[in-house]
Every structure is written in structure tokens, then in C-alpha cells.
Amino acid sequence: MTTHDRAAPEIELGLRDRKKVRVRAALVDAATALFLARGFDAVTVDEIAAAADVSRRTFFRYFPTKEAVVFARRDEQLALFRERLAASGDAAPFDALRGALLALADDYMARRTQILQERALTRAAPTLLAGDLEVDRAFESIIAEHLVAHSRRTAADQRRARMTAAAMVGVVRVALDEWADRDGDVDLARLAQDAIELLTPIVPRFR
């Protein structure tokens, strides 16, 4: 029912769209390979385009910036998180949140090496660091939306919901950092669980 491909990859795409998917994938693959080999800054868009066998101009038709190609995967995570949250509609808001976050933690652990590689890339390039922070804000927006929607209409309550969202993203990020710093050798779900539990006393209404 949605235009999202994940749920229904079987719909016949025309040749035109299949080509587009192929080109996009080729660009992502070429870029990540080059980035991992030589670092983000040392790779030019021309090289990426050449490696994917398209013109430089075409690269910028698929991605608005050089950074965007790095964050393509992260945007998918974001959309997935939003879906999961929306799916568990009538559960207690805080429980839904915990569920979605822990599911995310599982995803991360499953794609461990890839995640760690991406992080290593991000640390080395200041430009990418900025994008990383924006992802956090995006998560915060989703969570805040969710909490606000399930709060009373009081200004004070809504503010508190937004504060809770900000705090939650903060503690979860610290958990993620620790996991990454330990090369993914600890249980991220466990860390995330602890992080979320830490906030229990400040979550409005449930405890």
C-alpha cells in the first residue's frame, strides 16, 4: 500500500527503473569501496563516477552531495525505525519506544562490521561527523513526535515529552559509542536496555 519498496520488491519495474536501481547501487558500492580504501576526503566525485561508469553529472542526479551517498543506508534505518514505531500503535508509548530501539540495536549487532566501518569513516572526516549529528536529531524528532502525540495537550507536558526524547537519544548514543569503542564485542541490546531504563523515572506517566 505504501510506495516503500521493502515490503513489496516483487512489483515489476520497467527497464528504466531497473537501470536506475542498478546505477544507484553501483554508485553506492563504488563510493564505499573507495572511501574505505582511502578515506572520504581523498576520494573525488569524479573517481566515484568513473568507477561506477557514469558521468560526474549523473552522480549528482542520484545524490545531492558527496556525503549523501554515505548516509543512504542510515536513512533507511531511520525510515525503518519510524515504521516500527508507527506499527506498535496502541502499546504504551514508552514500551513501543523501547521495543523499536532494541530492535534497532539488534540490527546494528547483525551488521556489526559494516556499522563499525561506517563509524570509522565518519570519525575521520569532519564533514561526515556533521551528518552523523543530524541523524541523531532526526531520531529525536521521530521520538519526540511519538511522545508528544501520546501526551496531554498541556504546554508543560509537551515540553516534557520533547525533553524526554532528547534525553533518550542522548543516552542511547552513549551506549552506542561504548559498544563501538569496544569494537562491538559487548551486547549492544543490553547497553541500550540499561540506557533506556536509566530514564524510566523521568518518563511522564508510566513507571
Partner DNA sequence: TACGAAACTGGCACTCGGTGTCAACTGGCT
Partner DNA sequence: AGCCAGTTGACACCGAGTGCCAGTTTCGTA
Applying CB under 8 A, which residues contact its own copies? 129-131, 133-134, 136-137, 140, 159-160, 162-163, 165-171, 173-175, 177-178, 195, 198-199, 201-202
Q: How far apart are CA 119 and CA 182, in angstroms?
A: 13
Q: Does 72 bind DNA (CB under 7 A)?
A: no
Q: Does 51 bind DNA (CB under 7 A)?
A: no
- State the binding partner of 134 from DNA, its own copies, none, CB within 5 to 8 A by kind: its own copies
Selection from 10, 131, 151 nearest residue 71 by Cα: 131
- State the binding partner of 153 from DNA, its own copies, none, CB within 5 to 8 A by kind: none
Contact by Cβ (8 Å): 199, 160: no
| CA quadruple 108, 5, 58, 31: dihedral, nearest 10 | 20
- State the binding partner of 16 from DNA, its own copies, none, CB within 5 to 8 A by kind: DNA
Looking at 2, 7, 11, 64, which residue binds DNA (CB under 7 A)?
64
- State the binding partner of 169 from DNA, its own copies, none, CB within 5 to 8 A by kind: its own copies
The region, left, alpha or beta by phi > 0 then psi within -120 to 50, assigned to residue 39 is left
Q: Does 200 bind DNA (CB under 7 A)?
A: no
Looking at 26, 67, 99, 167, which residue binds DNA (CB under 7 A)?
67
- State the binding partner of 149 from DNA, its own copies, none, CB within 5 to 8 A by kind: none
A 10 A CB-CB count for 30 gives: 21
Q: Is residue 6 exposed (0-12), middle (13-18) or buried (19+ Cβ within 10 Å)?
A: exposed
Q: Does 66 bind DNA (CB under 7 A)?
A: yes
CB of 61 to DNA, least distance (A): 5
Residues 9-48 that bind DNA (CB under 7 A): 14-17, 19-20, 23, 43-46
- With b for 16 or more beta-carbon neighbours within 10 A and e for fewer, the 145-177 pattern comes to bbbbeebeeeeeebebbbebbebbbebbbebbe
Q: Is residue 18 exposed (0-12), middle (13-18) or buried (19+ Cβ within 10 Å)?
A: exposed
- State the binding partner of 61 from DNA, its own copies, none, CB within 5 to 8 A by kind: DNA
∠ Cα 190 105 29 (to 5°)? 145
- The contact set with DNA (CB under 7 A) reads 14-17, 19-20, 23, 43-46, 53-58, 60-62, 64-67
